Each structure stands twice: as structure tokens, then as C-alpha cells.
Structure 1
């Protein structure tokens, strides 16, 4: 399935049904009075986060979503039927914005929780509502209220604990395939990932976290060069960034330190808050460096980069040095996980309030 993380759609809630003008007409009841019912409510449009979806591709092709109008009122005190609401199911992590004002209308982070996007119009009043002691045969009614209509921009930001950052061909896809159940395309020739991949990493019994692999960045990405800038938004919900560096580049004329500095520079240009996130350095492809040169090359790299944070030396292809890194990542993610507030029994809350009083 094609990965789509942006879409623009039009939604329209249903209009309310019109009220009815009617009078009771029965034999032997000459002054039956008004009995025109109200119109039904128009259908509303809701959005719901669905765990089983991971792309917005459904909204790339179905761009118009309309709810039905409410039925008009009828005589004999009959109100019109309300129209059914429609529910748009979207991936968890979708941000819904008003396309005209750029206002954030909803952020779908809780699965199966409905969020109102467009309210259906209320039904109009029938002539029953206008009966008074001085106006005993009203002929007034009101039309139904119109439903909301909006143009929305949908933006998906995947929910992941850890994000992989780096140049194309740094080994991000190989790493996520080595430590998780994700199976991105990997080959022995240079190419870049075209869309984000998510993988669940098992660090032990009941110990896991989610990793996101985005397309590689290149210099000038914050101005629109390459593919990576389109997917940097997917790193904004992560708690930790792993900066993957190819310590043994395919082209000997490439300086890994210059590449690493370029990535950091592009990250800061794109979003300062993303730049401020905790970031660890992961030096990959050490199996391509002779054993006697590894220590000296790593020390030289860290010194020239002026790096002060954690450093991990791995080979994703040979699966060397992965377990200590995975355990350290899990400890960091678990320590910074958002803990739900403890549930308070309202019975004891009421008793405490009474005691204070």
C-alpha cells in the first residue's frame, strides 16, 4: 500500500429539515389547532482514530464527504427523522487543520474516541411552536439550520518513541530491520527509502518501544531538497533521536564529520524544538573498518564533531553492538514515558470534602 501522510478533503454536515405547517382536521373537532412537527437534525461529521490504519490514502481519492439532511416535519405532531452521522476513520496521530485558517481542529491521539468536525444543522420549527393564547392558528414555520461546511487538511505524524536520523545509505533501514519486525527494502547498491517505516523493538518480556525510519536527509533539505524534509514531521512526537552515521562511506572522498554536521544544521533550520530533542550518536558499518583502526577512527570522529553525548559503535548488517544500544534506548524511553495520573475513587474524594467542611 502506498504511504500517504497528507490529504485535503471537503466535509459537509447535513442541513436540518424544515418545519411543517399543519392543522388537526377530524370529524366533530372544528378547531383542532396546529399540529405541524419540527424538522429533523442534519447528520454531523466525526473523526475517529483507528489503530488498524497507517496511511491517509483513502482520503487521497475520496475527497468529498457529506452527511444527509434531516427529514422535514409532518402533520399529526410528527417530527422529521434525524439523519445519521458519518464517521471518518483516520490513523492514530493524524492532525486535522482548517485549510483556510490553518487552525488545528483536532489531534487524533486516542483510538476510538470520536471528535466532532462539522455539526449538523438543527431542524426548523413547525407551527406547533408558534401557538399562543392570541395566535391560535399560526401559519409560521422556520427552515432548517444549515450544517457546517469545511475544507480540511489532514497531516499524519506517526507515533514512535525513537526516530532514526541520517544521510541516505547510512544504514537506517538495515538497523530497523535488525532490531525490529519491520522489513523495509534493503539492497547492496545505493538508494534511499521513499516513505517512513515503523518497527516494534522487543527489549525483553513486557519491554518494547517503537522506532521510526524516515527517508535520508541531504544538505538543503530544510529548503525542500530531497525527500527527507517531507517526513521530518514524523520525528516531532519521538522522545529520542538516533543520529546514524556511516563511519566507512562508500566514496572515500566523503567526510562523515561534514555529513553529520550538515544533518544537525538542517535539523535546526527545520524546527528548533526538534533540534533540542535528546539525540544520541550511532556509528554504523564498523565491520567495514579494520579492527586495529576502529578505536582511532572513532576517537578522531568524536573529537572533530565535538560530540559530548552518548556514542554507540555498531554494525547493523553484522548485528554487532545492537543489544547494549537497544537496552539503553529502552531505559531512556521508559524513564521519559508520560505516566497516566492515578485514578481517584470519587467516594473517598467526597468523604474528604465533607470532613474539611
Structure 2
């Protein structure tokens, strides 16, 4: 699969003077010069190599601002990564690894660059908190509204898989499901949905399915490669497994959609008791209004018992684990 770039939308930099003025706020002179060089070229596409230059060169303190200047809504090459298709979830990105604190700053810069969208995403995912109690019609209609607004995301694929997994009958012919399929181009790129369904639906044997993924994709993943580049492997570990895994986790989320990137940073924020330095960085560098939205969803009461209410007692823990994959935007499923 080809590695993704950062497509520049048709509208040009809205105010070049503002962009160049903000570059002056960057402390490191080498980083300022690199940003000026990238901005002055006015390319139609921003190469991953140019992003990697800034990721490698900018200090941890400058990185979030530098990325906001490049990719933010008021930046030189606005990149929202919204309203994509399922194929976007499968593309391999070209981002080189950097240290976990810098990866977090990169994500902060991306999200700070689109503050209104970030806050709206949080509101949209909070509105789906009643999904475990909703009947199938209401659930699918709510997900259609979400798909209409935000397009494809790994988050959406998992939510759809969760709703489908609760029904005994095939409901892919439901009008809302068909509408969502059109939006995300499900017929052309169905792997994200079926990967999520295999992870959540009890009709698919979990360990057999995961073992099959590993066997099929092992030959494509070199010893030093990032397994999270491959969506079926990324979904096996839906939260960062260690501090060293945070970078790969964030890079994959960034490459898929803005929705997934917001939720990935939210998960790191929820796990700040494990990684205090990273949690402190988010609290210091994230825009106050976005941080307030993070705090609001963290305090939302989400009844995790609903995720295993239908399970037999001897399988309730495992049922909870599988269903929690679709609700990692809430604090308890992430921390469990």
C-alpha cells in the first residue's frame, strides 16, 4: 500500500502574514527557517518527509506550535483529515518514530490546530454514550448522523460492529447501515468493518481470529517495522501497551482520521497515572477549551455493566473486554 501524504485543500493559506508571524513564536532558529522554507514553497501536497523534518528538528516545546502552524485550520497547509473513507484507515503512513513526549506534542499540535472541530468531536462521541441501551434502529440512525458529519474512522467501524454484534438477524440491509456504507465506501474497502466485527462479535472465535491475523500479516511486518501500520494488528491492542508503544499508537490514529487522533490523545490522557509526564504535557499544552472538553467526557458517567449485561456469568469478563473495544472514548473501558 502506498504511504499517505498530507493533501492540501483547494483553499489557500487564508492569511500568510499571520502564518509568518506565528513562525516567529517558534524558539529554535533552525526550526523557524525550516518552517519558512516549507511554507514558501506553497506546494499542493505536504510530503511526509517535510513533516518528519519538523518532527525531528523541533524541540519538544516547539513541536506542537510548529505542527499547528503547518496543518492547523489557520495554518499554511490546512489538513483536517475529516470526511474520509475506509481506505484511509488502511493506508500506511510515512511518519518516522520520535520519542513519546514528542509524539504527544505532535498530536497536541494537530488537535490545537482545529479546536472547534475537536470540541465538536468530543460532543458527538458523548452523544453516543447511550448506545448500549438503544434499540438497533436508534443506534444505526445515530451512527448515520455521525458518519454524515465526520466520515470514516476506526471509531465508527468499531461502533457499527458493536451494534451488529448484538443482533441475531443480518441487518446490513437496514437503510441507515446502507447509507453509512455509501459514505465510507464500505463495498470497496470493507476490511475496517470486518476487522472490528471479528474483534467484537461473539459469533467470531476471538483467539482463532487473532492468530489468523498474525499468521497472515507476519510476513509483511519486518522485525523493526511498526505492526500498528496494519489495521488488523493495530486493533488487537486497542490501547498503548507501554510508553514505547505510545508513538506507534498515535501515529496510526493520526493517519486514519481526526476523530481517531482525538480519541487516541484522550486515551493517553486517561492513562496519565501511568505516564505522568505525558499527562502533564497534555494538561499544559492543549488549548484550555479542548482540555475542558476532555475533562467533561472523562467525568461522564458511563455504565460499563451494560457492556456485559447479556452475557452468561462465566463469560462476562471476556464479553466486557470485547465490547469495550467500541467504547474506548470513555475512561473506564480504557483503564480496565
TM band (smaller chain): under 0.3
Q: Give the greater-gyration-radius structure (CA).
A: 1
Structure with the larger RCO, 1 or 2 (CA within 8 Å, 6+ apart): 2
Tell me which protein shows more helix as a share of its residues: 2
